[in-house]
Structures are given as structure tokens and as C-alpha cells.
Structure 1
Amino acid sequence: MKVLLDLQYLNVATTGIKTYMMELANATKAFPHPEIEWIFTHDPEKQAADTTFKNPSSKFQRLNYHLDYFRWKEFQLPDLVKKHQPDVLICPDFVSPAASLPCRRMTVLHDAFFWQMPQNYPRWWRKYFLNLIRKGLKEKTEIITTTQYSKTALHKHLGNELPIHVVYQSPKIINSVADEMILDRLKLRDTPYFFHLGTFDKRKNLPLLVHAFKTFLEKENQDFKLVLAGGPGQSIQMNDFPVVEKLVSELGLKEKVVLPGYISDAEIVSLYQEAFCYVFPSENEGFGIPILEAMKFGVPVIHSDQAALKEIANGAGLSSKSGDASDLAEKMILLSRDKALRETLIKQGLKQSDNFSPKKFLEAFQYLILDAAPAL
């Protein structure tokens, strides 16, 4: 059985989809199957390191990228299918070629955000991208998604014509040695802090977290800090970084809220290891990788009661009401006061994180590839 894995999108992927693609590619090499031959369209490390289209600074550069992407999906990838003659083509970035292909397709739709949250995307871009997605959902296509929550949402917007399978992915495996210099650089040494890692997309609700942290400080009078690591949102419509910066200033929290921007894997390890708690107040997620990353590092998690996050945490995190800053603050206060609860969450989180591994991630794909199973 020959499987062609499309890795072209790694040249611009930065967050969850990048993790998905890299962990899947790495798992195929770490856990080979005697009945499956994996073929990569690109070397994953080299493609991820390609900076040609990363962080475009002009409309011309963005247009060039979209033309390159269209050319890849509609011409070059179908040519590779003809060349390698795979039994299965896996496209882990929402889009499969519109052209007719002789093989099965597995197209990964990580979430239903394009349908659920249209206000977060440029109108013309969203219309164009949704058109690409729909044109590729044809023939022998099976949709892969990340949670039961996402499956339900996709059924609502796409109907029931195509089978949808849930495959739980693996969080990023970070093997870097901790770079503790970041603790000194950010003045976090011997200071407890709440931690969040990810882009400043509006759906992450980071302004709400800042408000909750302000309330926490007022009620607890403890020497805590809040670390919000990561880059700006992925578009002007989605970017909440300026909002957070302004809010931090208005609330007088410049000495308490740390905004380090992008950080290295070694710095991520250090910040996870020393965090008092990981806080994830997002209003909408397809999966929730940081929850599992934090749990694997033995960090207790507070997350919103958004359906996908509850599904992934499975009771091993402390849930707060979505969009409710007061409730989030109360959960932060509770965790700071109740040492027994914190220890319980750490133990439960470590156990829950064991349910998500590269091997299990790959085995779910192998099952679908070899058995052509009906939708789960």
C-alpha cells in the first residue's frame, strides 16, 4: 500500500497544522508498517525551514504565495500522483486537488473555523479558500478531523455525504534541553507565573485572560506574573496583540505581564517546566495542543469549557466558563490556594497526556488506510 503525504504547506505553517504535519511525518519514520510505503512530497525538515513565503510584508508577496499554493495543489501535486501512483493521498492542510485522481484521498480539516467564525478572515480570501476546499472534497475522499467536536461542526456545515473520521493527533515532541537563561531575561526566576503559549488570535481570548489576571492580583495580593508567549494573530482581523499591549498598559500591568514574542523550543521547555499553571481561555479550538504539552510537563491546566478542550482534557484540567473573566479569575485563585487540587491536576494531567502519542496518532491513520473503515 503506497501512501503519498503532501507536506508542501510546511513552508508557511507555524502553529497547530505545522505540529500535525511534522509529528505525522516523524511518526511514519519512527514506527514503520510492513504493509505501508510512505512517500513524502517534500523533506519535512527542509520544507519547514524554507522562509521564501514566511511573514510576507506586502500584498505582492502574499499574492505570490497564493499563486504558488494554487499551482502546487492543482498541477504539481496531481503530477506527483501520476508519477508515484499511490493508493492513498493524504492532504493535511484542508485542500486536496480539484482534478480527478485515481486514488483514495484523505483530507484533513482540522476545524470548522472558516464556517463558524467568518468575521476573523478577509472576505475575499475566505471565499476563495472555501472554494478550494469544496472542490477537493470529491470522488473517494474521506475527511479526517481532530475531535468529535470538530466532526459535529463539520457535519453541520458540509453535510453527511462524505465520511468523517476522528484521529487524535500527537502534541509536539520537544527534545530540546531547557534554556534557563530566559527565566533571567524575563525576570521570572523564583517568581510564580501563569503561562500561555500561542498566537494572539482573537479566538484565544487573551484580553479576557489579562482582565482575569488583574482581578487575581487584586484579590490575592501575591507576587505572580502572567507570561503570554507567541507571535501576533495570523491576519489583521484575527490579531489581538495590539489590544493586549494596550490593555496591559491601561491596567498598569507592564511589570506583571510578560510578552516575550516568539521563543525557541529550548525556551519553551524552560517556561513550561517552571510555570505555576497553564491557562487556555480560548473560545474555539479544534483540538488544543498546548493543553497536552503542559500536562506532559507536569503543569496543571485551567481551560475554558469549550467543547474540544473539555474533550481533550477529559476532566484532567480545571474548567472555567468561556468568556467569563470573573470565573477564570476565581479558578486561578482556587488553584493558588489549594495545593492538594494542584497536585491532583498534575497527576491526572500526566495520565491523560499518555493517551496522546506519535505511535497512537500514526496507528489511527494506519487503521483507516488498511481497513478503509467506516466513519467513526
Structure 2
Amino acid sequence: MKVLLDLQYLNVASTGIKTYMLELAHAARAYPHPEIEWIFTHETEERLADQTYRGTQSKIQKLNFHLDYFRWKEFQLPDLVKKYQADVLLCPDFVSPAASLPCRRLTVIHDAFFWQMPQNYPRWWRKYFLSLIRKGLKENTEIITTTEYSKNSLLEHLGSSLPISVVYQAPKFLNGVTPSSSLLAAHNLVKGGYFLHIGTFDKRKNLPLLVRAYADFLSKSQSSKKLVLAGGPGQSKVMNDLPHVEKLVESLGLQEKVILPGYLDDTEIRALYEEAFAYVFPSENEGFGIPVLEAMGFGVPVIHSDQPALMEVAGAAGLPFSTGSESNLTEKMILLERETDLRSSLVHAGMARSKDFSAQKFITAFQEIILRSPLAR
């Protein structure tokens, strides 16, 4: 059984989808199946090194990217399916070719944000991207998604004409990465001395809420703990909350308390996880929530919104608060600092929970879907 894995989008993918693609490719090679031959459209390291469309782009550069992406999906990728005589095409980035193909398709749709939160996307871009998604959902296609919450959301917006399977992904636990302490030293961050969030400043992440709750936490607890918000701007001007967060930090006089280091490499991220007091995830909508498991795997307790996907992934190993409630988040931050037994129990429960999401389980779920008959659903 030949499976063609489309890794074209890896050169621009960020955060969740990037981790998904890398861990899937890694697991496919680390845990081979005798009946499956994996064919990668690109080598992961080479694709990651392609800087053509990264960083600030002009309108012409953005247009060129979309044209390249369209050519890839609609012409080059179908040609590779024929060249390799693939039995299955696996597209982990929402979009499969609109052209008819002589193979099964597995298309990963990570979440239903495009339908649920239209206000967070440029209108023309959302309309264009949704048309690409829908045109690729044809023939012998099975949708793969990340949680039961995402599955139910997709059923609501796409209907039940195509089968949808849930495959829990594997987080990146940064095994083999040597932590760098330079960032910690530069900002006087000590072990257990800060709350942490890692990710883009997309509006749905609710990071202004976290900053306000943190300010309230400081006033009520007299704590010296800092807040680290690592990551880059939101994926578009419409979605980007970074300017709002920066202004809020300044208006609250928290410039020395809230650290905004921007994008970090894996050595710095590992160091942040290892020394953090707690991870805080206030997002109003997630398809999965990789950082929940990453933090738990490092023995860091997690405070998270009670958004359905985060509740599903964290199980009973996190400390949930009411989504969108600044006061409830503040209460949970204070509670975690005061109750050492609670923190200890969350650490142990989180480390156990993180083991339920391994690379081997990730790829085994895909192998089972690939090998079963398309009619056996």
C-alpha cells in the first residue's frame, strides 16, 4: 500500500499544523508497517529551510504564494499521485486537489474555525480557502480531524456525506533538544517564577484576558511571579492581537513583569517549559491544544479554559476555568500558587495524561485507517 504524504505546506506552516506535519512524518518513519510504503513529497528538513514565503510579505509575494500553492495542489500533486501510483493521498493541511484522482484521499481538517469564527479572517481569503477545501472533498475521501469536538463541529458545517475519523495527534516533547538558558537569564526568570503561554497572538487565544487576569492576580496575591507570552503575531492583521497586548501591558504598567520574547527556537522553548510554574491556556476555541500536553509532559501544571477540545485533551489532569471569565482565571492562578498539594497532584496527573498521546499511537491510528477497506466504516 503506497501512501503519498503531502508536505508542501511545511515551509510556511506555523504552530499546530507544523507540529502535526513534522510529528506525522517522524512517526511514519519511526514506526514502519510492513504493508505500508510511505512516500514524502518533500524531505522535512529541506522544506523547513525554505524561507521563500516566510516573514513580512508584500501583496505580490502573498499572491505568488497563493499561486504556487494552487499550482501545487491542482497540477503537481496529482502528477505525483500518478507518478508513484499511490493508493492513498494524505493531505494534512485542509486541502486536497479538486481534480479526480485514481486513489483514496485522507484529508486532515484540524478544526472548524473558518466556519465558526468568520470574523477572524479576511473575507476574500476565507472565501477562497473554503472553496479550495470543499472542491477537494470529493470521490473516495475520508476526513481526519483531531478531537471529538472538532468532529462534531465539522459535521455541523459539512454534513455527514463523508466519513470523519478522529486521530489524536502527538505533541512535540522536544526529546534530544538541549535547553538554552540565555532567554531565562536575560529576563531574570527563575525556576517556578513565571506563568507561561506559547503560541501565536491570534484573537481566539484570548491573551488580553490573560494579561488582565495576571494583573489582578498580582494585586491580590502580592506575588513576584512574571508572565511569559512567547510567540509571534497572529496570522493576519484581522486576527493579530499582539498590538493590543503590547498596549495593554504598557497601560497596566507591567513592562517589567510581562515578557514578550517573540518567536523562539526549540532550545529556548524547552528551557521555558522546564522552569515554568504553570502553563496558562485561555483560548476561546481550539481544535486540539498541543501545548496542554507539551506542558504536562514537562511536569508543568496547566490552567486552561473549559473550551470542549481542551477539556477533552486535558482530561481530568488540568485545572479548568470558565472560558472568557477574567475573574475565574484569576482565582485559579491564586489557587494554584497557594495550594501546593493541588499543584503536585496536577503535575503527576498531567505527566500520566501526556503519555496517552504518543507518536506510536498517532501513527498506529493512521495505519488502521489506511489499511481498512474504504467500505468498512
Q: Which residue of 1 aligns with 2:227?
A: 226
Q: Which deviates further from its counterpart, 259-268 or 302-311? A: 259-268
Q: Which residue of 1 aligns with 2:59?
A: 59
Does structure 1 residue 176 correspond to structure 2 residue 177? Answer: yes
Secondary structure of the residue that 2:66 maps to in structure 1?
helix
Following superposition, the deviation at residue 56 of structure 1 comes to 4.0
Contact 2:191 2:276 in 1 (8 A): no
CA distance in 1, matches of 2:13, 2:55: 11
CA distance in 2, matches of 1:349, 1:372: 36
Amino acid at match of 2:207: L
Contact 2:94 2:107 in 1 (8 A): yes
Pairs within 5 Å for 1:306-321: 306-321=307-322
Secondary structure of the residue that 2:227 maps to in structure 1?
strand
CA distance in 2, matches of 1:190, 1:315: 25
Secondary structure of the residue that 2:223 maps to in structure 1?
coil
Contact 1:225 1:258 in 2 (8 A): yes
Contact 1:115 1:157 in 2 (8 A): yes
CA-based RMSD of the aligned residues comes to: 1.1
CA distance in 2, matches of 1:162, 1:334: 45
Q: Which residue of 1 aligns with 2:255?
A: 254
Following superposition, the deviation at residue 183 of structure 1 comes to 1.0
Amino acid at match of 2:93: D
Secondary structure of the residue that 1:341 maps to in structure 2?
helix
Secondary structure of the residue that 2:51 maps to in structure 1?
coil
Q: Which residue of 1 aligns with 2:69?
A: 69
Contact 1:163 1:374 in 2 (8 A): no
Secondary structure of the residue that 1:39 maps to in structure 2?
strand
CA distance in 2, matches of 1:306, 1:31: 33
Following superposition, the deviation at residue 375 of structure 1 comes to 8.8
Q: Which residue of 1 aligns with 2:214?
A: 213
Contact 2:192 2:277 in 1 (8 A): no
Q: Any gaps of 5 or more consecutive residues in structure 2?
A: none
Contact 2:173 2:297 in 1 (8 A): no
Secondary structure of the residue that 1:364 maps to in structure 2?
helix
CA distance in 2, matches of 1:64, 1:308: 35
Give the fraction of aligned pairs with identical amino acids, expressed as a percent.
Answer: 68
Q: Which residue of 2 aligns with 1:369?
A: 370
Following superposition, the deviation at residue 372 of structure 1 comes to 3.4
Amino acid at match of 1:326: S
Secondary structure of the residue that 2:190 maps to in structure 1?
coil
Q: Which residue of 2 aligns with 1:113?
A: 113
Contact 2:192 2:275 in 1 (8 A): no
Pairs within 5 Å for 1:330-349: 330-349=331-350
Amino acid at match of 1:323: G
Residues 302 and 190 of structure 1: is their aligned pair in 2 closer, same or farther, counting only changes over 3 Å? closer
Following superposition, the deviation at residue 49 of structure 1 comes to 1.4
CA offsets per residue over residues 62-117 of structure 1, 9 Å max, x none?
00000000000000000001101111000000000000001000000000000000
TM-score (norm: length of structure 2): 0.98
CA distance in 1, matches of 2:185, 2:266: 17
Contact 2:184 2:272 in 1 (8 A): yes
Amino acid at match of 1:228: L
Following superposition, the deviation at residue 191 of structure 1 comes to 6.3
Amino acid at match of 1:225: K
Q: Which residue of 2 aligns with 1:201?
A: 202
Secondary structure of the residue that 2:286 maps to in structure 1?
coil
Residues 180 and 71 of structure 1: is their aligned pair in 2 closer, same or farther, counting only changes over 3 Å? same
Following superposition, the deviation at residue 189 of structure 1 comes to 2.8
For these two proteins, the number of residue pairs brought into alignment is 376
CA offsets per residue over residues 244-300 of structure 1, 9 Å max, x none?
000001011111101011111111111101000000000000000000000000000
CA distance in 1, matches of 2:114, 2:195: 30
CA distance in 2, matches of 1:307, 1:206: 18
CA distance in 1, matches of 2:190, 2:376: 49
CA distance in 1, matches of 2:348, 2:39: 39
Amino acid at match of 1:112: A
Amino acid at match of 1:15: T
Amino acid at match of 2:326: A
Contact 1:164 1:375 in 2 (8 A): no
Secondary structure of the residue that 1:216 maps to in structure 2?
helix
Amino acid at match of 1:11: N
Q: Which residue of 1 aligns with 2:83?
A: 83
